[in-house]
A = this chain, B = another copy of it.
Amino acid sequence: MKLGDLGEDSLLDQIAVNLPPADTRKIFASVGDDCAIVQIADAQNSLVLKTDCVVEGVHFVHETKASHVGWKAMMRPLSDFAAASAVPRFALITVIAPKETEFVWVKELYCGLQKAAERFAVSIVGGDTSSTSGPIAVSVSVIGFVEHNRAVSRRGGKPGDDLFVTGRLGGAVKQKHLKFVPRIVESRWLTQNFSIHAMMDLSDGLGADLPRLARASNVGFNIDVEKLPLTRGATARAAIADGEDYELLFAISPHERIHLTQAWCRKFSKLSLTRIGSLGRKSKNEKQKLPLGYIHFQQPR
C-alpha cells in the first residue's frame, strides 16, 4: 500500500500502534494529539513538544513570499500550543533546500520565522540545514511548558458539552493561512478562567477536525450549520471543508455558557466566539460526518 492511499490519520494510527506503550502516567498527550505533553520529574510544569513542517507545492507555492513561508512554518506548531493551552519557549528550525536557492530567500524565510517567534517570546535556539534535489521543506519543532492543571487535549469532551469556535471560518486559503495569529493569548485566558474539557486548533477544517475531537473524546456531536461564523464571502461548505483557519474549537460545560460569553466579550471585543453546537452520545454509525453530504476531507495537504 502506498502512503497516498492512506490518510494522515490512518498513517498516524498505524505508526502509533507500532510504538511500544510509553509510560502513560508520565505522558498526558502524544502521537495524534496536537502536542505531546510529558511530565518531567520534580517539575511543576509539564514539558510540551510539537513539530510541524511546510513543504513547497503542498503548504505553499513557489511564488509565496519567503517571509510568509517562515511566518506560517512557525505559527503552525504555535497554533498547536494554543490548542494545548501551553506556553511556547524554544524553537528548532530545519531548512531543506536545493543548492540553487538564493541566499536572500533563506534570509527572508528566517525573518518571517523570527518575527513569528518574537510575537510569542519564543527563542530560536538551533537548527539544521540540508540540500535536496526536491522542493523546499521547513520543519519547526517547538518546546514549551504548561501547568499540570491547565493542559488541555482533544480527549476530555463530555456528552452535553457546548462546542465553541473562536473567530470566523472558511476562505483562509486565500490569504489568512500565511498571516494568521495563533490563539495562544485567548487559550491561556480560557484555561485561567474556565474548565475547558477538550480543545484543538482547526487546521484541516471543521469537517475533518471536529470528528477527530469527538473520536478522541469518545462522543458524538451536533452542529447547527446555520450558526457557523463565516468569513465574509465564505459559504458554510467553505467553513467546513477549506481548512487552515487556525481558530480554536473547544468543549465546555453548558453551565458556563453565560459567564463565558459575557467575559469573552469584555476581554476580546474584536474576536467573535460562537457556540456552533454540542457534544452528544456516540452515534452508532462508525464515523459521524458533518452535514452538507460528502466532503473530501483527505485532500492532499
Contacts and interface: CB of A to CB of B under 8 A. Distances in A.
A199 interface: no
A66 to B, nearest CB: 13
B129 A12 contact: yes
Copies of this chain present: 2
Interface stretch (A50-58, A252-260, A267-275): A50-58
Interface residues of A, number: 78
Interface string A113-145: 010001000011111111111110101010101
A134 B100 CA distance: 15
A35 interface: yes
Contacts of A266: none
B52 A18 contact: no
A103 B22 contact: no
Contacts of A50: 92, 126
Contacts of A49: 90, 92, 125-126, 141, 143
Given A3-B106, A99-B3, A107-B18, A130 B137 contact: yes
A125 B20 CA distance: 11
A74 to B, nearest CB: 13
Nearest to A91: B49
A301 interface: yes
Interface string A1-15: 111111010011011
Interface in A22-55: 22-23, 27, 30-31, 33, 35-36, 38, 40, 42-44, 47, 49-55
Contact of A92 (B4, B44, B132, B141): B141
Which of A15, A19, A125, A134 has the most chain B CB within a 10 Å cutoff? A125
A125 B92 contact: no
Contacts of A2: 99-103
A172 B262 CA distance: 65
B139 A57 contact: no
Contacts of A110: 15, 18-19
Contacts of A43: 43
B126 A31 contact: yes
A128 B52 contact: yes
A97 interface: yes
Contacts of A133: 57, 134-135
Contact of A36 (B19, B92, B101, B132): B92
- Which 6 pairs show the lowest CB-CB distances between chains A and B? A134-B134, A4-B99, A36-B125, A141-B141, A51-B92, A36-B126
Interface of A: 1-6, 8, 11-12, 14-15, 18-20, 22-23, 27, 30-31, 33, 35-36, 38, 40, 42-44, 47, 49-55, 57-59, 89-90, 92-94, 96-104, 106-107, 110-111, 114, 118, 123-135, 137, 139, 141, 143, 145, 300-301
